[in-house]
Structure 1
Amino acid sequence: MDTALIIGASGGIGAAVREQLEAQGVAVTCLSRSVEGFDLMEPDRASRMLDRLSGPFDLVLVASGALETSGNAPEKTIRSVSAMAMMDQFALNAVGPALVLSRAHHLLPRHRRSVFAVLSARVGSIGDNRMGGWISYRAAKAAVNQIVHTSAIELARTHKQAICVALHPGTVKTEFTRKYLGRHPAVEPGEAARNLMSVIGGLRPADTGGFFDWAGKPVPW
């Protein structure tokens, strides 16, 4: 791997992946809201910034996302759903990655192996949902899983060696999850980054369109 693009490179996982790649001599291009002003909640501005990128990239990682948007915490019950909070979740966690994926044909090389990975979450799995709650976040992650799967089908027609996947990084100790860890086991961002890079390194074109966890195991849709 020679080149990589990380969306959300200032977040816990994105920053850890960036550090590991740069330590390996990979040329990393970073986009984040806090540093470069790349905000997926501002689609017109984000689109212009994406169009100015000079790829192709061997790896594109979309590591942006949030459990809370505009101060709205995940709902504990369907009775707490609000239209605006749900739309914000979809805007950031589903529409945002779709916007980046819409440039995948130009961001990825056409005639060599490449990986386009979007960080999803196991709570977006319909088949694995046994606890309920977190309606908007779960639904947005289920939506991005469908977006990734559908995009992979289209991308495979022109980029035969491209691999487009959704990845569940596990529970990671970041500002993103700080208030929600409780007693759940969690790993540091560096460990999560190593796990993700191990999975990415082992993916094959036949895996495109899949949803995998931090250990490389398929996650139910």
Structure 2
Amino acid sequence: MRKEIPSYRNIAIIGASGALGGAFLTQLAKRQGTERIYAFSRVEKMYDMPVVTAHVIDYEDEASIKRAASTASKNAPLDLVLVTTGMLHDGALMPEKSLRDLSADKFQRVFMANTVVPALAAKHFLPELRKDKRAVFAALSARIGSISDNQLGGWYAYRASKAALNMVIRNAAIETGRRCNEAIIVGLHPGTVDSHLSRPFQGNVAEGRLFTPEFSVKKLLSVIDQLSPANSGKCFAWDGQEIEP
């Protein structure tokens, strides 16, 4: 882990309109050394922050993701890329309690959001990272994707999609590290955050363990700041603890 606090001049946030993406954007926009933040979301947004430019992206269209990477790196290589997209539930789609609840449609939709989109973001954004010094690519994962930590079962598609994302991160870190030894590629577990994603399940959260997006992002930025290339390919929780596969 690093001790000094680095700055990130050129930043891309994929999923900037979400609770965590928005909190990352707000906090990074205030940071000394930030020159430009490219904020990508599915809907058109306006930001009253001089360093932020907003762009529309279609997560399910690889050509759109490729254009986003090209846009963000047009004037300078990227110092920090954050992928803050994800899906746990959506209307009638809810986490499975048992095998009886499984369906191909659920798996396809959840894997698209939680695994395929971050993987395609890695495909197109990783080549645009700064190569002459430390640069970070981080995607929101979850402790629930840890196979060794699974003691409760259930939530099949979500658990499996996050475990698959962690493998994508590990693979990408190995491959990228061969040609860019300053790159850091990690998964981040934000804890249980008060957001649309967690709202139906907040009744089961222990007292003091439901975080605001601002608190979670402040903690995650502290984790990111301390990462070194030796940490690449791993997954870290909001408190800095490594999450075992």
TM-score normalised according to structure 2 size: 0.86
Distance 1:17 1:105 in 2: 19
Q: Distance in 2 between matches of 1:52 and 1:70?
A: 33
Q: Deviations over 1:105-152 (max 9, x none)?
A: 432001100110010001111000001111001100000000000000
Q: Are residue 50 (structure 1) and residue 69 (structure 2) matched? A: yes
What's 1:16 paired with? Answer: 23
Q: How does 1:146-165 map to 2 (within 5 A)?
A: 146-165=167-186
Question: How many residue pairs end up in the alignment?
Answer: 221
Mind listing any 5+ residue stretches in structure 1 that lack a counterpart?
Answer: none
Alignment partner for residue 82 of structure 1, among 87, 98, 103? Answer: 103
Aligned to 1:31: 40
Larger Rg: 2
Q: Name structure 2 gaps, 5 residues minimum.
A: 1-7, 45-54
* Counterpart code for 2:10: T
Aligned twin of 1:212 = 236
Deviation readout 1:78-130 (Å, 9 max, x if unpaired): 11100011011111110100001002343200110011001000111100000
How far does residue 6 in structure 1 lie from its aligned partner after superposition? Answer: 0.5
C-alpha deviation, 1:69, in angstroms:
4.2
Between 1:85-94 and 1:52-61, the stretch displaced more is 52-61
Q: Which among 190, 194, 206 is matched to residue 214 of structure 2?
A: 190
Q: CA deviation at 1:207?
A: 0.5
Q: Indicate conservation of the 8 Å contact 1:6/1:29, yes or no.
A: yes
For the Cα contact (< 8 Å) 1:168–1:213, is it kept in 2? yes
1: CA distance, partners of 2:43 / 2:203: 27
Distance in 1, matches of 2:127 and 2:110, equals 27
* CA distance in 1 between partners of 2:66 and 2:98 (Å): 35
Task: Decide whether aligned partners of structure 1 residues 34 and 180 sit closer, same or farther in structure 2, where only a CA change above 3 A counts.
Answer: farther
CA distance, structure 2, for counterparts of residue 61 and residue 135 of structure 1: 25
Q: List structure 1 segments (4+ residues) > 4 angstroms apart after TM superposition.
A: none
User: Structure 1 length normalisation: TM-score?
Assistant: 0.95
2: distance between equivalents of 1:41 and 1:210?
26
Question: What's the secondary structure of 1:9's corresponding residue?
Answer: coil
